[in-house]
Structure 1
Amino acid sequence: MHIVIAGGSGFVGQVLQQQLLNQGHRLTILTRNPSKFQSGKQTQYVEWLAANSQPETQLEKVDAIVNLAGESINGFRWTKAKKQRILQSRITATNEVLRIIENLNPKPTVLVNASAIGYYGMSETATFTEGVNSNASDFLATVVQTWEELASRAEKWEVRTVYARFGIILGKGGGALPLMSLPYKFGIGGRIGSGKQWVSWIHIADVVGLISLAIEQSHIHGPLNVTAPEPQRMDDFGKMFAYILHRPHWLPVPSFAMKALLGEMSEMLLCGQRAVPEKALNASYKFQYPELEGALREILSSKEQQ
């Protein structure tokens, strides 16, 4: 297949590229700086989101598009400017993907558009499958709802559209794990807030596995929870860190301290949602890392994480 990836230079994008290449696919990576990369037999780099760029003129017989582009939600605080960049970057990139699709002939079969389980809002008691509609109005939920509504416009060209709702991604050299494990490495890890908040996590190998599933399986459309089948409470999550790293889990971080340090962004750590990958399980997807202990052992055993 010929697969186009927007946002392919990020953490998920780089791992996805390698997997798709290993599967024998041909890739086109949309980038603002194609001169930084060397195109080859299986991979070409095409400029986009630049003045007068028309990437569609360099795209032939596209089978699938994966849109991962958008400002990272990570950082120290969500300032007004940061929040605007988070939202606007997703709108700008997705609008450009839609414009490209409009000008392609033939059209791609599928668009896999990045999304997030933040769509559901926060809850300590509810379980969120893909069939749950959101009534949440917090910042992340609003961003995701706007993002998905925009991506859904690809369906007017009969392009099957999948919203890959990412959970907390764990992996080597990126994702949430380096920051989350840091207190434990210094021996000061412990419960964050109440500890009862849910962490819907997923190993990076299963992130790219589920994206591949979304590309290949024609019956998958709409929302797809990209999470492991066994979410964990934050306190249990931290205890597993401590167990594997042979570090104590003893120093609580109260909610007020997190709010003072991170402001609105603290909601990502103090609140959560229990998202279950019902569609993936119904499609008989075999998770490489269905349990947290195995996922953390694989990641934390590497020399980079010691």
Structure 2
Amino acid sequence: MHILLTGGTGLIGKHLCPFLLNHHKVTVLTRNPIQAAVLLTHQVVAVKSLDEVDFEQIDAIINLAGEPIVNKRWSDSQKRELLDSRIKLTQQITKKINRCNSPPHTFISGSAIGFYGRQGDCKIDESFNDIYPEFSHVLCRDWEHAATKAESEKTRVCLLRTGVVLSKHGGALDKMLPAFKFGLGGPIGHGKQGMSWIHIDDMIQLILFVLSHKDICGPINATAPNPVDNNEFSQTLGSVISRPAMLRMPAWVLKLMMGEMSDLLLHGQFVIPDKLLKHNYRFHYPELKPALESLRL
């Protein structure tokens, strides 16, 4: 297949690209084609604009681009950047798809479990619709809505509601590790909030799985089948790196430091990947401790 990938130099994209190149031709949309070619190897075709892509020749699109959600405090301008970096590009892609006589047969587009908003201790699958209307939900809702405009008899749309991706290099874990390695890590707030996580290897393999299984479409929870609360996550991480994890971060301190963005850490969801399990996807890392141990932190 010929695959168009956006967000190719991000955490998931740069891990995914080598696997795609094993069997497919890959075009990557990037602001810096030279850097992308170096980072992702010269086998990829790097372009700066969708106008450089002949969508009639594209078989599938994997859309992972977007401003990182926790890089900056959520000012009004940063919220707009988070929205625009996802939605405007997705809208451009859907317009290109809809103009095709022979459009791509698959459009896999990013989203996140933040779609569900804060949900206490209930278990959530893809059918859950009792949504808490906070910014993370609005961001994911509008992103997904833009992607579904490409859906037709010729094009299936898959929406990856991704959890906390565990990787040694980059992502949320990379930000947590320094404090934990100095023995300064611990639970956040009361620690009972859900943490729905996924190992980077499973994240890559499930994207390939969805790409090859044409009967899968719509929302897909991209999380491991055994979410934990923040207390358990902190204790398990501390155990794996042989450090204490006793210093609890008070909620008020986090709110003072991060403002509204602290909601992502103080609240959570226990998300179940029901659709993947029903399609017999086998997780390499269904349990947290082996997943963390495999990263050799």
TM class by shorter-chain length? over 0.9
Q: Which amino acid aligns with 2:88?
A: T
Q: Distance in 1 between matches of 2:137 and 2:262?
A: 15
Matches within 5 A, 1:184-263: 184-263=180-259
Q: 1:180 Cα shift? A: 1.7
| Count of paired positions | 295
The answer for the alignment partner of 1:33 in structure 2 is: 32
- Which whole-Å CA distance do the structure 2 matches of 1:121 and 1:37 have between them? 34
Looking at structure 1, the residues matched to 202 and 89 of structure 2 have their Cα atoms a distance apart, in angstroms, of: 25
Identity of aligned residues (%): 39
Q: What amino acid sits opposite 1:294 in the alignment?
A: P
Q: Is 2:6 aligned against 1:10?
A: no
TM-score (norm. length: structure 2) = 0.94
Match of 1:151 among 124, 132, 147: 147
1:76: Cα distance to partner? 4.3
Tell me which residue corresponds to 1:44: 45
Which secondary structure does the structure 2 equivalent of 1:225 belong to? strand
- After superposition, residues 130-149 of structure 1 pair within 5 angstroms as 130-149=126-145
For residues 234 and 42 of structure 2, the distance between their equivalents in structure 1, rounded to whole angstroms, comes to 44
| 3-state SS, counterpart of residue 65 of structure 1 | strand
Aligned equivalent of 1:296: 292
**1:41–1:88 distance in 2 versus 1, CA, 3 Å:** closer
Matched, 1:82 2:82: no
Q: Mean Cα displacement is larger for which, 128-137 or 186-195?
A: 128-137
Gaps of 5+ in 2: none
CA RMSD in angstroms comes to 1.7
Gaps in structure 1 of 5+ consecutive residues: none
Look up the match of 2:53: 56
Relative to structure 1, is the Cα distance of residues 165 and 43 closer, same or farther in structure 2, using a 3 angstrom cutoff? same
Aligned mates of 2:169, 2:131 — CA distance in 1: 35
The letter for the 2-side match of 1:55 is: E
Which residue identity is paired with 1:217?
H
**Secondary structure of the structure 2 residue equivalent to 1:155:** coil
Q: Distance in 2 between matches of 1:252 and 1:33?
A: 41
Worse-matched range after superposition: 235-244 or 247-256: 247-256
Deviations 1:208-230 (A, max 9, x none): 11111111111110000000000
In structure 1, C-alpha distance between the alignment counterparts of 2:218 and 2:226, rounded to whole Å: 22
Instruction: Report the residue type matching 1:293 in the other structure.
Output: K
Contact 1:70 1:89 in 2 (8 A): yes
Aligned-partner SS, 1:169: strand
Matched, 1:122 2:118: yes
Could you give the per-residue CA deviations for residues 266-296 of structure 1, whole angstroms, max 9, x where no partner exists? 1111100011000111111111111111110
SS at match of 1:241: helix
SS at 2:86 equivalent: helix
* Alpha-carbon distance between aligned partners in 2 of 1:4 and 1:175, rounded to the nearest angstrom: 23
| Contact kept in structure 2, 1:120 and 1:136, CA below 8 Å | yes
Q: Does 1:95 align with 2:91?
A: yes
Q: Partners of 2:186 and 2:120 in 1: how far apart?
A: 19
Secondary structure of the structure 2 residue equivalent to 1:209: helix
